[in-house]
């Protein structure tokens, strides 16, 4: 039973980390798109109202990406409790089975984003 729980945990951990990191990329991509839309509108001398509805939707999507990141941070903080619940603390000891991340109120390690325009 312990082996199956450990294997299940090890299967989920990289998937969780990948999903967690993709929230940063999604937010950065949305922010880059928003910035470029505003710049292009200005460079082409288009009226300020052009693309406004689309811009509103992109800003809402960016906010959703930031909210998703916050939820991943909160879920990540639950990992030690899950390790204990699964009885895996014998394997991991007192250390967290994953790298430190910032708490909801800040702090933690700075993790660079793979690409930013």
Residue 12 located in a structural domain: yes
Residue 113 has pLDDT above 70, yes or no: no
| Average per-residue pLDDT for the chain | 83
Domain of residue 26, residue span:
2-92
Helical residues (DSSP H) of 1-117, grouped into ranges: 2-43, 52-77, 79-85, 89-92
Please give the structure tokens belonging to residue 62.
């960016």
Residue 49 located in a structural domain: yes
Residue 98 located in a structural domain: no
Residue 60 located in a structural domain: yes
Residue 107 located in a structural domain: no
Angle separating helix axes 52-77 and 2-43, nearest 10 degrees: 160
Number of domains in the chain: 1
Residue 18 has what pLDDT? Answer: 93
Instruction: For residues 3-23, give the mean pLDDT.
Output: 90
Q: How far is CA 92 from CA 2, 41, 75, 111, in A?
A: 13, 53, 19, 23
Residue 65 located in a structural domain: yes
Find out whether 6 and 38 touch, Cβ atoms under 8 Å.
no
Residue 95 has what pLDDT? Answer: 52
Residue 81 located in a structural domain: yes
Residue 15 has pLDDT above 80, yes or no: yes
Residue 94 has what pLDDT? Answer: 47
pLDDT in tens, 62-73: 999 999 999 999
């Amino acid at each position: 039973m312990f082996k199956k729980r450990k294997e299940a945990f090890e299967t989920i951990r990289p998937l969780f980390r990948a999903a967690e990191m993709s929230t940063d990329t999604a937010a950065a991509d949305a922010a880059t798109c928003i910035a470029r839309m505003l710049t292009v509108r200005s460079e082409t001398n288009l009226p300020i109202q052009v693309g406004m509805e689309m811009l509103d939707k992109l800003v809402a999507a960016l906010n959703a990406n930031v909210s998703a990141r916050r939820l991943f941070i909160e879920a990540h903080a639950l990992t030690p409790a899950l390790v204990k619940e699964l009885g895996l603390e014998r394997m991991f000891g007192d250390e967290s089975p994953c790298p430190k991340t910032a708490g909801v109120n800040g702090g933690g390690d700075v993790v660079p984003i793979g690409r930013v325009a």
